[in-house]
Amino acid sequence: MAYKLFGANVSPFVRKCRAYLAEKGIAYEHESVNPFQPPSFYRQISPLGRIPALLDGDRPVADSTAICLYLERCNPTPALYPADNYEYAQALWLEEYVDSGLLPVAGPMVFRPLVLGPVAMNQPLTKEIKENALEVVENQIAPMWDYLERQLGGNEFFVGGQVSIADIAVASGHVNLWHGGVDPDPAHWPKLSAFLTRMWARPSFKALIAEEQRPWNRREEVAAV
Ligand SMILES: N[C@@H](CCC(=O)N[C@@H](CS)C(=O)NCC(=O)O)C(=O)O
């Protein structure tokens, strides 16, 4: 069966699936879809209109978590979900922590004002907008970084001693913050910071981040405001 993944490359959920596919070595076609101006056929494969969605031949699968779990069933090796039952649950939980905890804050309250607005919505970045976003980072995202730092501990990967969907989800979600010049300070979160550097250096993420550089990387512009 041929796989086709739909969704704009800057979405953390699309990036999660693409990094997963790259880590698995699964070939697929990618079609960029803007969820706010989707093509007419799109609701047939993504009933909520969200990105990503996958077509396996003519069979649709919506939602990044469902997509990765489905692909894992179809392509069991190399395993990106822990074999141990409890570690499996932990990996799913950490993925959910990013998808439903970090991203609903980081997306609309940090990435949107610092990156999406200026790049795609004709909304210039002002000092006030930047300060508001950084306040959200300090009050709401920093405690999540504390949690992730504790969960990682002294390990290279979050769960099970090898790369898993948990690592992919954490690394993908943070790329959007990085585009806006927001990173966990290595002085406060040394383990998480080093983890992100390691994950983004993997070929799976390196290629995706390079593809996103233009127009999404706004680190210099944000620093200058
Ligand atoms: N739970 C979904 C979330 C996907 C999601 O929220 N995608 C955003 C883009 S990052 C989207 O499509 N937003 C448009 C909308 O909600 O209408 C998943 O994991 O795939």
- Asked whether the predicted pLDDT for residue 156 surpasses 70, the reply is yes
Percent of the chain beyond pLDDT 70? 100
Q: Which CATH architecture has domain 85-224?
A: Up-down Bundle (1.20)
CATH code linked to domain 3-74: 3.40.30.10
Report the alpha-carbon distance of residue 7 to residue 15 in Å, rounded: 9
Q: Token pair of 214, please?
A: 């233009």
Centre of ligand 1 from the C-alpha of residue 61, in Å: 14
Centre of ligand 1 from the C-alpha of residue 50, in Å: 4
Shortest-distance Cα residue to atom 16 of ligand 1: 50
CB contact at 8 A, 12 and 198: no
Which is nearest to 199 in space by CA: 223, 225, 224, 163?
163
- Across 161-185, average pLDDT: 98
Which tens digit of pLDDT belongs to each residue from 9-67?
999 999 999 999 999 999 999 999 999 999 999 999 999 999 999 999 999 999 999 99
The pick from 13, 103, 116, 172 for probing ligand 1's pocket by mutation, whose C-beta has the most ligand atoms within 8 angstroms, reads: 13
Residue 82 preceded by cis peptide, ω within 30: no
pLDDT at 136: 98
Could you tell me where in the chain the CATH 1.20.1050.10 domains are found?
Answer: 85-224
Mean pLDDT (the chain) is: 97
Could you tell me where in the chain the CATH 3.40.30.10 domains are found?
Answer: 3-74
- Across 88-109, average pLDDT: 98
Give the global pTM. 0.98
46 lines ligand 1 (CB under 6 A): no
- Across 122-131, average pLDDT: 97
49 lines ligand 1 (CB under 6 A): yes
pLDDT at 158: 98
65 lines ligand 1 (CB under 6 A): yes
13 lines ligand 1 (CB under 6 A): yes
DSSP state letters, 144-157? HHHHHHHHHTT-SS
- Asked whether the predicted pLDDT for residue 141 surpasses 90, the reply is yes
pLDDT classification of 1: cutoffs 50, 70, 90:
low
pLDDT at 130: 98
